């Protein structure tokens, strides 16, 4: 079996490029550009392989900025702007403050440490962090929904992207939940799949809806930890059945539906012995039952399961 590869975050790559550009700038006194490609790894991340560019100059006129109006991060004589392809924060509720480049605190701190390690005469210098095609990449994220405009965010906490951890997706869920809470929502809507998301948009405000992929337990755990206690879960009958049976992640690699157990549950509840060989899908089983009564049963069991995991959470499930 091949060992899965770890990678570095966009924040680490931006810091490395900054150091390289700064060294050249301090030697030459002229505009300096450093380019790095985000290390390939086995995580699920839209920024995998992207090109990160740091430009440093003694004149802001030499820089190509994100056109969204914003203020730079200032540290001593250093001014850090969002370049093309890096977003600008336009709403409250995120770690980077409103009106500044979407650069998380950890990579920003790393850049400041690097800058402090070099001797400089104190003359104002200007820097941008840019990402090639960053605005297109951002369309695959929730950036626009949470108010990050014009590109991706420069992320990082530990510096490493763990293989197949889907850490970037979890970070995105955490960001959206924090954003919803900061904007006054005391009830959030968690959706699994595009159909569920579409149904959620018909019923709720987009800012309180979070697409969670298959990360049911992780998402509710994050919500609970930041003080969100009311949750609506919207999902299809198959995913709901998995949650009812105790699956914390509903992806197939974490387990399949136990149809024998489901058969026993239906027999106990409805006194009907279904033929599970007739169709080994939940929808096939539904065809043998009263749909409304079956959905009501699963909904109740899902709510009970989540309450078992998180007793303080007020949960309601909508099965589509």
* pLDDT per position as a tens digit, 263-283: 999 999 999 888 877 767 888
In a domain, 18, yes or no: yes
CA distances from 261 to 2, 195, 248 (A): 36, 27, 17
The residue written with tokens 């959706």 in the block is 191
Task: Note the helical H segments in 2-104.
Answer: 10-28
Distance CA 138, CA 152 (A): 5
Domain count for the chain: 2
CATH code of the domain containing 135: 3.30.2110.10
Residue 180: count of CB within 10 angstroms of its CB:
24
Model pTM score: 0.66
Q: Does residue 207 share a domain with residue 183?
A: yes
In a domain, 2, yes or no: no
What is the domain range of residue 33? 7-161
Pick from 126, 161, 196: which residue ends a domain?
A: 161
pLDDT, tens digit, 9 for 90 and up, residues 179-230: 899 888 999 999 998 899 999 999 999 999 999 989 999 999 999 999 999 9
Angle at 42 between CA 41 and CA 44, to 5 degrees: 105
Alpha-carbon span 54 to 22, nearest angstrom: 9
């Amino acid at each position: 079996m091949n060992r899965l590869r770890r990678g570095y975050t966009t924040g680490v790559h931006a810091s490395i490029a900054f150091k390289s550009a700064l060294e050249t700038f301090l030697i030459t006194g002229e505009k300096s550009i450093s380019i790095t490609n985000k290390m390939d790894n086995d995580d699920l991340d839209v920024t995998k392989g992207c090109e990160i560019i740091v430009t440093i100059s003694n004149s802001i006129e030499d820089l190509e900025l994100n056109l969204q109006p914003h203020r730079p991060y200032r540290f001593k004589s250093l001014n850090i702007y969002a370049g093309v392809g890096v977003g600008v924060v336009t709403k409250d509720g995120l770690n980077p403050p409103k009106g500044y480049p979407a650069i998380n605190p950890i990579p920003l701190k790393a850049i400041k440490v690097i800058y402090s390690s070099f001797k400089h005469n104190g003359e104002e210098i200007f820097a941008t962090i840019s990402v090639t095609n960053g605005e297109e990449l951002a369309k695959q994220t929730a950036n626009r929904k949470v108010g990050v405009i014009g590109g991706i965010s420069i992320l990082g906490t530990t510096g490493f992207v763990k293989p197949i951890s889907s850490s970037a997706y979890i970070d995105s869920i955490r960001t959206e939940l924090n954003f919803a809470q900061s904007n006054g929502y005391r009830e959030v809507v968690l959706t699994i799949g595009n159909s569920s998301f579409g149904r959620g948009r018909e019923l709720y405000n987009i800012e309180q809806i979070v697409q969670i992929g298959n990360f049911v337990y992780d998402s509710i755990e994050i919500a609970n930890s930041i003080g969100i206690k009311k949750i609506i879960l919207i999902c299809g009958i198959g995913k709901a059945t998995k949650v009812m049976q105790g699956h914390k992640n509903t992806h197939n690699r974490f387990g399949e539906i136990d149809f024998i157990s489901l058969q026993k549950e239906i027999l106990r509840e409805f006194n009907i012995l279904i033929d599970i060989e007739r169709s080994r899908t939940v929808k096939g089983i539904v065809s043998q039952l009263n749909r409304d009564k079956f959905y009501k049963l699963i909904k109740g069991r899902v709510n009970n399961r989540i309450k078992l995991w998180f007793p303080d959470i007020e949960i309601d499930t909508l099965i589509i």
